[in-house]
Amino acid sequence: MRILLTGATGFIGSAVLKLAVSQNHEVAALVRPGKTLSATRLLAGTLERAPWNEIAAFGPEVCIHTAWITTPGIYLDSLENERLEEWSELFIRKAVVGGVGRVVALGTCIEYKMTGEILSEEMTPLAPATTYARCKDSLRRKLDQAARVDCFSFSWARVFYPYGPGEHPARLASSAIDKIRRGETLELKNRDSVKDYIFIDDLAAAILAVATGDAHGAINLATGVGVSVGEVVRTIAELLGRPELIRETTPAVPDPFSFVVADVRRLLALGWQPRVTLRGGLQQLIQSQKR
């Protein structure tokens, strides 16, 4: 399969690229001028200014769109989300005109209304409450309508909580690893918040399963298993041999996303299964950051 990949140098995109190449897919990666990647065809450009002649020469069958702002502490309310929504729509529409027959774009679990129950593509209402989630959902609606009019296959892959080697150092697991290694005490303010964590390699496999499958519309990319923030951090401390560094804040700080766990039946129907346990994934993350 010939894949046009955006965001190939990012946390998720780089994992998709690595796995796609290992599976013998042909990949053309759109990267900013000056960036380098191995084992793939590079297309120097941006969503706004893409090298369309080179893309046409490659002749992609599928576009996997992972490019977006995801910097912790910034991305949720950044105005760049609005620009990315506009550029993404125009880029994908032009890619379809150029012959792309299937589009897989990444959404987010926080498009959902937080109900305290399992989040279902078909049953759970949407209520995006941040600029990031609103722009993602707006793009989904625009592409869904375009797919109906222009007759291309479209999947909206809602990513839950990825973790693993290559993640931003400010993310939960990496931040905890760094602090514990420095001997700092960790206070678990949101210890009871339950999230659906998915190891980055499993997420990449899920994205490719969607890209090569026939699912249409929204599909959750997660494990279907909820794990508390406290369990994640305590596991890290145990693996590093410093469980005494964990302290629990009483009472816990309220979290607007206190239970974010996916219904994954649509994903499992594609033949995908998670392969990495939470403990195994955290061990890999720790090893990748070994000093």
Residues in CB range of 241: below 8 A, 6 or more apart: none
Residues 236 and 146 placed together within one structural domain of the fold: no
In-domain check, residue 66: yes
In-domain check, residue 145: yes
Residues 238 and 136 placed together within one structural domain of the fold: no
Residues 112 and 46 placed together within one structural domain of the fold: yes
How many domains does the chain divide into?
A: 2
In-domain check, residue 283: yes
Residues 256 and 153 placed together within one structural domain of the fold: no
Residue 120 is predicted with a pLDDT of: 98
CATH of the domain at 132: 3.40.50.720
Residue 249 is predicted with a pLDDT of: 74
In-domain check, residue 273: no
Residue 213 is predicted with a pLDDT of: 94
Residue 218 is predicted with a pLDDT of: 98
Average pLDDT over residues 58-84: 97
In-domain check, residue 124: yes
Whether the predicted pLDDT of 36 surpasses 80: no
Whether the predicted pLDDT of 34 surpasses 90: no
Residues 99 and 41 placed together within one structural domain of the fold: yes
Residues 79 and 217 placed together within one structural domain of the fold: yes
Average pLDDT over residues 146-169: 97
Q: Give the pLDDT band (50/70/90) at residue 290.
A: confident
Residues 108 and 217 placed together within one structural domain of the fold: yes
Residues 159 and 24 placed together within one structural domain of the fold: yes
Residues 181 and 237 placed together within one structural domain of the fold: yes
Among residues 88, 12, 79, which one has the least CA distance to residue 50?
88
Residues 124 and 215 placed together within one structural domain of the fold: yes
Residues in CB range of 192: below 8 A, 6 or more apart: 228, 229, 230, 252, 258
Task: Please state, rounded to an integer, the average pLDDT across all residues of the chain.
Answer: 95
Domain with 40, as residue range(s), is 2-163+197-222+262-268
In-domain check, residue 86: yes
Residues 203 and 256 placed together within one structural domain of the fold: no
Residue 39 is predicted with a pLDDT of: 62
Residue pair 162/200 in contact (Cβ under 8 Å)? The answer is yes
Average pLDDT over residues 256-273: 96
Please report, to the nearest 10 degrees, the dihedral formed by the alpha carbons of residues 207, 208, 209, 210 taken in order: 60
Residue 212 is predicted with a pLDDT of: 96
Percent pLDDT > 90 in the chain is 90
In-domain check, residue 28: yes
Residues 152 and 30 placed together within one structural domain of the fold: yes
Average pLDDT over residues 251-259: 85
95-99, 212-216, 253-257 — most confident range: 95-99
Residue 229 is predicted with a pLDDT of: 95
Q: Give the pLDDT band (50/70/90) at residue 37.
A: confident
Q: Give the pLDDT band (50/70/90) at residue 44.
A: very high
Whether the predicted pLDDT of 291 surpasses 70: no
In-domain check, residue 71: yes
